[in-house]
Chain A
Amino acid sequence: MQPRGSVCPNLMLGLPALLLAVAIGAIATTWSGDFMSAGNLGNLVNRVLPLAIAALGEAVVLFAGRIDLSVGSVISLSTAILGVTSAQLGWLSIPLVILAGLACGAFNAAGVILLRINPLIMTLATSAVVKGIALLLLPSPGGEVDYSFYDAFYGQDQFFGWPLLLIAVAFAATFAIFGFTRFGRSIYALGSDGRAAFANGVNVPGIDLSVFLISGGLAAVAGLAVGIKILSGDPLIGDSFTLDAIAAAVLGGVALQGGRGSVFGVLAGAIALVLIGNAFNLLELNTNLQQIAKGLIFVAALMLFMRGRSRSPA
């Protein structure tokens, strides 16, 4: 048995997703000359950003052997808060959104730690509550996001810009935490074997609280990226992100049972998913067929990666 939580074996788990992303990129390049153009690459980075950040938060929860089904609703709530408040509050609406995301994470953690509710069901219930709050704030898509946000963040519209920097910083920081700190190792340990981790002095409630806070906070950041991009709020826009974030993580080699996977695999998984969507667009595939294909790809990814693993819960 390989040592769990060590850097190299976990990095290898991300290899299939990386190869998939490179393969799709290569095929797309030979098909269409526009693919490698600065404009399309910049566009791709902007599309990878929200999914990669949301998937990163989801992966941290999955590392601990928990799951977060409220990511999509938190993203919707973030765009709604941004759309409603940015006109009056200006830049202050950004910390407000992140606070709201952390509050959602804390709510999840409270249910899991204090009320001992299964994370799957707790986060499902939270997602309903958060969706309701987002719909109360903004019953239909609308509101307005200050254009200066867009200009400052997406303004350069090229490959090397703020979005790429944000992805790089978020993933490098998370990689450092998981590779080299006691905290990161504790999360892996909890995910690998909860009892053993507890017996060895891992602060289980503390880890639970941290992973849900990280997931909620990162989902809020992803929501900010979405809201600034579309320049308005949409109380339902995040719905598809929950499954996409889990799919990116699974594609990147993260085990749903916890304790295995690397953040770079997650990034490769997110890039692969966005490239698949981009390839569908280049093929001018019907949007509904895209949805069906996404579901099938997800099932295929789960099928390949769940093989030979221990029996899964639920």
Chain B
Amino acid sequence: MTAATYLDRLRPAGASLRAMALLLLLLAAFFISTRGFSSILLLDNIRQAAPLGVVVAGQALVLMMGRLDLSVGATASMANIVLCSIFNSDMANLVPAVAATLAAGTLVGLANGIMSTKLRIPAFLATLASSLIIAGLVVFFTNGSPRGAVPPAFRVITEGWLFGVAPYSALIWLVLLVALLLLVHFTMLGRKMILSGANVVAARHSGIPSDGLIILSFVLCSVLASIGGILLSAITGMASIGVGNNFTLDSIAAAVIGGALFAGGVFLPLGAMAGALILFFVQSLLYVLALPPAAKFIVQGLIIILALALANLKQERSQ
């Protein structure tokens, strides 16, 4: 394979560019309203959007396989509880706390993946059921009143800025996105994943073990949801029930804005990033306008409908 073909794969897709254009418009409106551009303010918003952004990357990966994960919110909430209860405000527990959180996420992903492939349960129902089970387990083990917090030193990952210019959480988000970009578009494993997402029958006939790849995508998604939960815990600082529940619909809405298709076969890291930022800015706008929290749900739903309607319209035009 020549260098040109590799470079070609780095060229962003049209859907990603449209999402970026929308983001730039939104940013322009935002900075006009705050009277003047401020890179600090922009980076600070990116810092706060990072937990959602990481979860969106995972959701986009599962969508690429033609599946849907409705358990990312419950998984992120669980990550918050596991992390805080093992940390118990002591930095000495760093390794066991993070390891246990990621291990729990891996287990959720394995269960989701096995249910959706080997047991032939439609993914959205399997993950809906597992979100119910996870939420039940969390409340059962904590008796409804979770205890524990992350130590102040750990909160550096969302509060700290590298050399005072780049927030750590934004860097973590960027590194994960680049890693996924390399995995999907530049490794044989990733090419097989995207092929079996685009056409599972063709992939099977080509001898690609699509079941294993689907399980892998669910595991990666749940691990990313756990990382999202870890970043969120570093922002909130303490354990509380259901802290990440909004991630489920938020991640779907953001992935769809970023050009993800429910039919599968598409993975756009740049689009997923832009989608997460757009959703975050829209939600901060709702907050600034002092709308009731209920408006968030309405906007979430309408954004999903609008993004998909536009995508369908464009598809019909091109045919």
Contacts and interface: CB of A to CB of B under 8 A. Distances in A.
Interface residues of A, number: 48
B298 A132 contact: yes
A133 B121 contact: no
A164 to B, nearest CB: 29
A131 B132 contact: no
Contact of B294 (A115, A120, A132, A296): A132
Range class of the B interface residue count: 35 or more
B130 interface: yes
Interface stretch (A40-48, A191-199, A216-224, A301-309): A301-309
B312 A129 contact: no
A291 to B, nearest CB: 4
A299 B42 CA distance: 44
A87 interface: no
A125 B124 contact: no
Interface stretch (B18-26, B191-199, B277-285, B299-307): B299-307
A231 interface: no
B305 A120 contact: no
A288 B292 CA distance: 30
A296 B298 contact: no
Contact of B309 (A115, A240, A246, A299): A115
B292 A136 contact: yes
Contacts of B115: 299, 303
B152 interface: no
B172 interface: no
Given A291-B135, A299-B115, A302-B126, A136 B295 contact: yes
Interface in A77-135: 111, 115-118, 120-122, 124-135
A296 B312 CA distance: 36
A205 to B, nearest CB: 15
A298 interface: yes
Contacts of B301: 125-130, 132
Nearest to B138: A288
B212 interface: no
A303 B137 contact: no
A289 interface: yes
B297 interface: yes
Contacts of B299: 132
A295 B129 contact: yes
Interface in A121-156: 121-122, 124-136, 139
B119 interface: yes
Contact of A288 (B67, B139, B312): B139
Given A289-B140, A295-B129, A314-B68, A306 B304 contact: no
A243 to B, nearest CB: 6
A295 B138 CA distance: 14
B296 interface: yes
B294 A292 contact: no
B126 A299 contact: yes
A198 B295 CA distance: 39
B308 A117 contact: yes
Nearest to B121: A302
A181 interface: no
Contact of A124 (B125, B252, B309): B252
B297 A121 contact: no
Contact of B132 (A116, A117, A294, A302): A294
B14 interface: no
Given A124-B252, A314-B67, A295 B136 contact: yes
Contact of A117 (B67, B295, B305): B305
A79 to B, nearest CB: 15
8 contacts: A121-B262, A128-B297, A131-B297, A290-B136, A295-B130, A295-B132, A295-B136, A299-B115
Interface of B: 66-68, 115, 119-126, 128-130, 132-133, 135-137, 139-140, 200, 249, 252, 262, 292-302, 304-305, 308-309, 312
Q: Which 7 A-B pairs have the closest CB atoms?
A: A132-B297, A135-B294, A129-B301, A128-B301, A132-B298, A291-B136, A295-B133
